[in-house]
Amino acid sequence: MAQHTITLIPGDGVGPELSEAARRVIDATGVDIKWEVVDAGLGVMEEYGDPLPAHVLDSIRRNKVAIKGPLTTPVGKGIRSVNVALRRELDLYALVRPTKSYPGVRSRYENVDLVIVRENTEDLYAGIEFAQPATLELIADIERLGGRAIRADSGITIKPISVFGTQRVFRFAFKWAIDNGRHKVTAVHKANIMKYTDGLWLRVAQEVSREFPQIEFEDRIVDNMCMQLVQKPELYDVMVMPNLYGDILSDLCAGLTGGLGLAPGANTGDEIAVFEATHGSAPKYTGLNKANPMAMMLSGVLMLRHIGEGAAGDRLEKAIARVIADGRSVTYDMKPERDDPTAVGTSQVADAVIEVLAAS
């Protein structure tokens, strides 16, 4: 059996505990993985002066596959998100976030099986921002170019959406749909209002859809999409959206099926993929052995499939589903009451998954 070398970034906050739990269950599938553990985030700022040191990026570039815990972005202190930087540096342009109902999860919905493909490099998340009051020159230029008047005391964030970026994320999504037995792609946008960005997105999506006639294609305006997802999520399959809508709707979809503790993700480029949960570093639970490791474990399932170990991925997903259905070894967030004394900790969830794997 081939050995895989994979970069592991433990992360900030609850990240190290979740990473340890995920690593243990992935190892218990029997897949031969050599973990290259490298630190990024707040913890290395002092040592390297950079939350994303070069050797971390080098490790991912070398191994082509990484799994990471969440990384903290301090609010409003001028530090840009390490997560956004990582996606940009490695050109991980498609973020795949599946949402699935597992029997035993408390939810108003059953049989949800959705996938968001979020464009990961452009849109309002491209990081092109101009702070007030240094925006006066830009405001004057925009007015000169025929744009509308902008109040002089405005801050400005630019929303670029390119033909290139839109084409490649839709091609990725259609291919992903075919490879994963999906039948429909929905393009999500606000083309009626933002004609030159979301309008371009929709036009390119329609063009790309003609290259994949075997997959049904439709589009939805993002506000309508939100209502539709809450009312009838079973109508949707793979949804492709620009960065900001993808960020927001990922949490909405997670909420349909048990919350952030169960929402995995895969940041994917042409050659490199970095797997991570949708949730953040949940700082208030750091070191308490309390956070739910299942989102990171399910990210591990996506990773195993990505490296050609699909059978091991399926076994791990089934084992997690068994632990959920059994209901005894789950964390506080999966209990009817948040202070349920029968909730177990992060590492006990890993123990339970490993026990099921060993018996399967």
91 belongs to the catalytic site? no
Min dist. Cβ of residue 272 to ligand NAD (A):
16
Buried residues in 223-262 as b, exposed as e (16+ CB within 10 A) = eebbeebeeebeebbbbbbbbbbbbebbeebbbbbbbbbb
Between 186 and 281, name the residue whose CB sits nearer to ligand NAD.
281
Residue of the chain from 56, 291, 319, 356 that contacts ligand NAD (CB under 6 A): 291
> Is the separation of the CB atoms in 332 and 339 below 8 Å?
yes
Min dist. Cβ of residue 38 to ligand NAD (A):
15
17 binds ligand NAD (CB under 6 A): no
300 binds ligand NAD (CB under 6 A): no
Rounded to whole angstroms, the Cα distance separating 165 from 235 reads 27
329 binds ligand NAD (CB under 6 A): no
CA-nearest of 165, 138, 167, 164 to 151 is: 138
Tokens representing residue 27 in the block? 């190892």
281 binds ligand NAD (CB under 6 A): yes
> Is the separation of the CB atoms in 166 and 204 below 8 Å?
yes
Of 36-95, binders to ligand NAD (CB under 6 A) are: 70-73, 83
102 belongs to the catalytic site? no
Residue of the chain from 253, 282, 298, 353 that contacts ligand NAD (CB under 6 A): 282
Between 119 and 219, name the residue whose CB sits nearer to ligand NAD.
119
247 belongs to the catalytic site? yes
Q: Which amino acid is at 247?
A: D
19 binds ligand NAD (CB under 6 A): no
CA 68 to centroid of chain Cα atoms: 11
Min dist. Cβ of residue 285 to ligand NAD (A):
6
Catalytic residue among 12, 198, 247, 333: 247
* Beta-bridge mates of residue 36: 7
Of 240-269, binders to ligand NAD (CB under 6 A) are: 260-261
Between 242 and 261, name the residue whose CB sits nearer to ligand NAD.
261
Q: Which amino acid is at 356?
A: V
Rounded to whole angstroms, the Cα distance separating 300 from 204 reads 32
Between 96 and 177, name the residue whose CB sits nearer to ligand NAD.
96
Rounded to whole angstroms, the Cα distance separating 302 from 242 reads 22
> Is the separation of the CB atoms in 290 and 16 below 8 Å?
no
172 binds ligand NAD (CB under 6 A): no
Coil, strand or helix at 298: helix
Between 119 and 276, name the residue whose CB sits nearer to ligand NAD.
276
Rounded to whole angstroms, the Cα distance separating 17 from 10 reads 8
Tokens representing residue 126 in the block? 């491209």
125 binds ligand NAD (CB under 6 A): no
332 belongs to the catalytic site? no
Min dist. Cβ of residue 21 to ligand NAD (A):
10
| Active-site residue set | 125, 190, 223, 247
User: Applying CB under 6 A, which residues contact ligand NAD?
Assistant: 70-73, 83, 260-261, 276, 279-285, 291-292, 295, 333
